[in-house]
Amino acid sequence: MALASQSTRPQSVRAGGGFQSPRQRRQRNTMIGAVVALLVIGGTVWAIWGRGGPTPQNQPGQAGTSTPTSGGTTGTNTPANNPGTNPASNTPRELVQNVPIVPAPQPEKPREPVVLDMGKPKGETPGTQPVPGNQLEDPLAKPSNAITPVTPEVKPIVPEVKPTPAAAPAPAADDVPAEVSRLLDTAKRATSENKLIEARTALLAALKNDRVKAAEREGIRTWISELNETIIFSPTVVAGDPFTENYKVASGDVLERIAKNKGLAVTKELLARVNRMPNPDRLKIGQNLKLVKGPFHAVVHKSDFRVDIYGGTPVAPGTTGSPRADGAEEGWTYIRSFACGLGESSGTPLGTFVVKRNSKLINPHWVNPKTGEKFSATDPKNPIGEHWLGIAGVDEAAKTKTGFGLHGTIDPDSIGKERSMGCVRMRAEDIAVVWELLSEDVSTVRIVQ
């Protein structure tokens, strides 16, 4: 028989601490309810406060905007040293209230290129105009199926003709003979009435008068030169001038062929210069051109370092000297003058010459006859410049003088001085005009003292 202390206990007692009184059950249920309530309240606060608040990257009403991080990824900016923070959550509102919002940098728009007009007429695109070369091309040498654009006809520009040049006024009546004064008065009246040929004729007669002094003669030459700027070197055809005529362009015409067919003793470059042609290779059918016929000649005055240009009949072979004191032939018409430089130690020979065949050159190479030094055509140190006109003697004294010519210079200060090896040197812009005026085997070059 077992003792009372060893008797079997009911099942509820056998569970030991599992037995709860009604009071304990009520406490347990209260605690569970409190925990559940706390969890519900905490979850609600987390959902409302944590997920709905603004972040440093987002303003209210702009949720979902992301900002690149320093690492290059896109997302919210969550502090890395905040353990237990959900990476998907945002920073609490109180931590970002005073933080400035910096917008993401935008790429800079490329700048538009700056185009310099470089003086082009308004509306013209720089760099579209052709660069003129030293030689004019013949468009007939191009393929027959090439489309040739038509250049609008350039209207002639008639320069104003001054009755008397400001630099060299007409001589006063007290300084010249009475017959010369009458000629000058005639020239003034004719010029004012735009009778240019009549004015030039009167001045040429005055220039031939041996009683006119050197200073007055210079003024008369300048006056004639200004008249010839219109009569010869402008697009205007002046009635009565024996050296020019009008021409209407026909189908297939080019300047070189026109000059050859008409027997002109000038170059196509001179025709382009006179007619103010922007593109000498483009002619329009029916276009009016001014043709300069020539021939022209040159007289070099060594004592004055001056080259006078005349128009008229060439001299006969073997002609010696000149019937006139100014070195011109009878019947020649004075055109204009240029300054020149001559050979050192009076090395430029006297005599009558003709422009040598095949001697009109552009950018020629040159060999110094004294040192043998060679200069290529493109060498900026080439002392003869870009134009060369060789001359050959036609009288007995000049036939032995070879290797001489007229050319440009890279030393403008030598004009008016004796610095060359015997040739006649001129400024680049002046020799270009003389090169266009004189013709091979036709034009006379007379060198006088």
- The per-residue pLDDT for 300 is 98
Chain-centroid distance, C-alpha 354: 38
- The per-residue pLDDT for 396 is 86
- Provide DSSP, 94-153: GGTTTSPPPPPPPPPPPPPPP---TTPPTTPPTT-SPPP-SS---GGGS-TT---PPPPP
SS3 45: helix
CATH superfamily, region 242-293: LysM domain (3.10.350.10)
Determine contact, residues 28/17, Cβ cutoff 8 Å. no
> What would the 3-class secondary structure string for 151-179 be?
CCCCCCCCCCCCCCCCCCCCCCHHHCCHH
Which residue spans of the chain are classified as CATH 3.10.350.10? 242-293
- The per-residue pLDDT for 23 is 63
Which residue spans of the chain are classified as CATH 2.40.440.10? 295-449
Which residue's entry shows tokens 């010369």? 180
Count of Cβ atoms closer than 10 Å to residue 168 Cβ? 18
* CA gap 297, 216 in Å, rounded: 24
* CA gap 25, 376 in Å, rounded: 122
Count of Cβ atoms closer than 10 Å to residue 297 Cβ? 28
Q: Mind listing the pLDDT tens digit of every residue in the chain (449 residues)?
A: 343 444 444 443 334 444 555 566 667 777 787 777 788 787 776 666 555 444 444 444 444 443 343 344 344 444 344 444 444 444 444 444 444 444 555 555 544 433 323 333 334 443 334 334 333 333 333 333 433 444 444 444 444 444 444 434 555 545 678 999 999 999 999 999 999 999 999 999 999 999 999 999 999 999 999 999 999 999 999 999 999 999 999 999 999 999 999 999 999 999 999 999 988 889 999 999 999 999 999 999 999 999 999 999 998 877 878 888 899 999 999 999 999 999 999 999 999 999 999 999 999 999 988 899 999 988 989 999 999 999 999 988 899 999 999 999 999 999 999 999 999 999 999 999 999 999 999 999 999 99
- The per-residue pLDDT for 60 is 41
4, two tokens: 């009372």
* CA gap 224, 170 in Å, rounded: 11
Residue 305 burial (C-beta neighbours within 10 Å; 0-12, 13-18, 19+): middle
SS3 336: strand
Decide: pTM greater than 0.75: no
Nearest to 419 by CA among 324, 341, 304, 308: 341
* CA gap 435, 201 in Å, rounded: 26
Pick the CATH number of 295-449 from 3.30.200.20, 2.40.440.10, 3.40.50.720, 3.40.50.300: 2.40.440.10
